[in-house]
Each structure stands twice: as C-alpha cells, then as structure tokens.
C-alpha cells in the first residue's frame, strides 16, 4: 500500500512535466495578405509542413478582400496574444512598420514573408529577390524577340515594392537586349474590367507591340485574353507561376513564366523560426529562388502545385 501511494506522486509529477513541455511549445502567428488565392494557399501548405516538421505551434490568418486596414487590426490583436514570433506579409509595408515596431518593443521577433522592406528591426526577409525575378522575365521575353522590337510592361503600383522591383528588373534586361519599352501601365489592384480596358488601350495605341511582361499572372492571363480577342500572336511573360498560366505554357499557347516558389517560401520561414528559437543566427535575406517554367517542365510543376492545393 505504501508503494502504491509513492507511485501516485511520481505519476502526477510526470504528467505535470509533460503538460509544461506542451505549454512551452513555441508559438508563431503568421499574417498573410490572403488565404483564398492559389499562390497564398501554396504558401500556407509550406508553412503547415514546417510547423509539423519543426514542432511549432502555428496560426495562419489573413484579411478578407485584400483589406489593408483589416490586416493592421489583425496585427493589433496578435500583439495582445504575445506569440513568440510574428511572420507577416505586409500589404503596404510603410504603413505597417509603426505597428510592427511595437512587437519589437515587446521582444517579439518579426519575420517579413513575400514582401520585403528596408526596415532595420526585421529579423529576416524570406522570399523572392524581385529585381532578379524581373530580370529573368525580361531576359525570357528578350529571347523571343529581336533588338528594336517594342514591348509593354503592365502592372504598376506605386505602393507595392514587389511590383516596382519586378518592373525595375525587367526594364534592365530589356534595355540590355536593345528592346524598347513603349508602355508601363495598369494598377495591380484595379477592377478586372478596367485592367482589360487599359490593356486594350495599350494594344490600340501601340500597334507595333511585339510582346508583354506582366508583374503577376493574373495580369498575364488578362493580357492573353485581350490579344486573342484582337487576333494577335505575341509572347506574354508572367511572373508568378499560377496553374492557369502553366496550363497555357504546357499547351504551347505561351512561351513561359518566371515562377516564385511559394511552398519553399512558407517552409523556409518556419525553418528560420526554429533556428532563431534555438539561438542561431539567420541571414537578413533568405532567398526562396525563382524557376523559369517552359513547356519542358510545365507538367511537372503543375502536378506539384495541384498536390499542394489538395
């Protein structure tokens, strides 16, 4: 009987230790821009795989309808929760920094995902080098054309560093190839009908345009719709690697796209979190890389992305 009474306290101590260990599991909150679109759902899949592999307690949230104000409100609520680490894809970084500074004041490291900003207090940025991506897109379009040809770049948003960096990179490559840029238009977040109208205006104003680069595949697909309606045949290069774009490449309708690696972006973010929790240093910029997708590798990429979206 004495032995049994002695065993009971040991069991209680053991259970208490297990429960404390569970409580000490690192917590991470991820605030994305969106959770409905294909791109962000693939990032989510990479994040969740990382949470599983690195034993992290993770929560992933995003505003509805790409609402910047809602994203800021979310940050305020997350700050009250006091997670161990925040991962954020800021919609407009300049306006998010004051709130993010408050996380730093509470000793909560902030990781920037997908969208970078020249902010000294970030722990790291995980994502695409968008200037390099733009350069590859420009080189890919240039390989389809001749020096002196005229092209259009579509997708200007003064508040989006992602858009401006891609435009910058594409411009550099096209200029190196001796290709003339005759139009830089269309706001990223315009209404679909308005985007279509503006692309039509580019085609009508510049009938000698021989190719188009768009800073995302949504714009690329709209541009493809327009040139088909006009009975034109010209290369259109996108810069995301969405499934609809890849299907057109596989079918031979378009030459290619320069794709980000959203799954890797999500996974590498959690891997970096684990390193910081373990007291290790991480680089200020963790490049998730880009892939050029053409007909030869389109099918493989499409199958991978479909698996990630299940």
In a domain, 61, yes or no: yes
Find the domain containing 121 and state its range.
Answer: 2-128+263-289
What is the band of 155 on the pLDDT scale with cuts at 50, 70, 90? confident
Of the spans 8-12, 57-61, 254-258, which averages the highest pLDDT? 57-61
In a domain, 297, yes or no: no
pLDDT digit string, tens, across residues 193-246: 888 888 999 999 999 999 999 988 888 999 999 999 999 999 999 988 899 999
In a domain, 300, yes or no: no
167 and 223 inside one domain: yes
Q: What is the pTM (predicted TM-score) of this model? A: 0.85
In a domain, 54, yes or no: yes
Q: Average pLDDT, stretch 151-157?
A: 84
238 and 278 inside one domain: no
What is the band of 20 on the pLDDT scale with cuts at 50, 70, 90? very low
Last residue of a domain, one of 243, 260, 277: 260
Dihedral sign (CA 120, 240, 31, 60): negative
Under a CB-based contact definition with an 8 Å cutoff, are residues 25 and 54 in contact? no
pLDDT at residue 276 above 90?
Answer: yes
Sheet of 256-260, strand order: 180-185, 150-154, 209-214, 236-238, 256-260, 290-293
In a domain, 161, yes or no: yes
């Amino acid at each position: 009987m004495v032995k049994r009474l002695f065993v009971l306290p040991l069991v209680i101590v053991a259970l208490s230790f297990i429960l404390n260990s569970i409580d000490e599991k690192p917590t991470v909150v991820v605030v994305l821009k969106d959770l409905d679109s294909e791109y962000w759902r693939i990032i989510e899949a990479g994040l969740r795989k990382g949470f599983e592999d690195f034993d992290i307690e993770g929560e992933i949230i995003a505003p509805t309808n790409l609402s910047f104000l809602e994203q800021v409100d979310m940050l305020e609520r997350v700050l009250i929760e006091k997670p161990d680490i925040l991962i954020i894809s800021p919609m407009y970084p300049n306006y998010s920094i004051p709130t993010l500074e408050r996380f730093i004041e509470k000793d909560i490291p902030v990781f920037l995902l997908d969208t970078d900003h020249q902010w000294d207090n970030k722990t790291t940025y995980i994502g695409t080098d968008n200037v390099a991506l733009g350069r590859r897109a420009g080189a890919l379009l240039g390989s389809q054309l001749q020096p002196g040809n005229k092209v259009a770049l579509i997708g200007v948003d003064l508040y989006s560093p992602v858009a401006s960096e891609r435009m910058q990179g594409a411009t550099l490559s096209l200029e190196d190839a001796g290709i003339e840029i005759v139009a830089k238009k269309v706001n990223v977040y315009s209404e679909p009908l308005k985007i279509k109208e503006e692309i039509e205006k580019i085609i009508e104003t510049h009938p000698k345009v021989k190719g188009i680069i768009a800073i995302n595949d949504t714009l690329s697909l709209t541009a493809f719709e327009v040139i088909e309606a006009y009975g034109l045949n010209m290369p259109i290069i996108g810069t995301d690697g969405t499934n609809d774009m890849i299907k057109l490449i596989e079918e031979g309708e378009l030459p290619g796209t320069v794709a980000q690696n959203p799954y890797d972006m999500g996974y590498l973010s959690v891997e970096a979190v684990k390193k910081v929790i373990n007291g290790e240093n991480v680089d200020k910029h963790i490049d998730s890389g880009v892939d050029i997708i053409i007909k030869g590798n389109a099918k493989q990429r499409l199958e991978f992305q479909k698996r990630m979206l299940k």
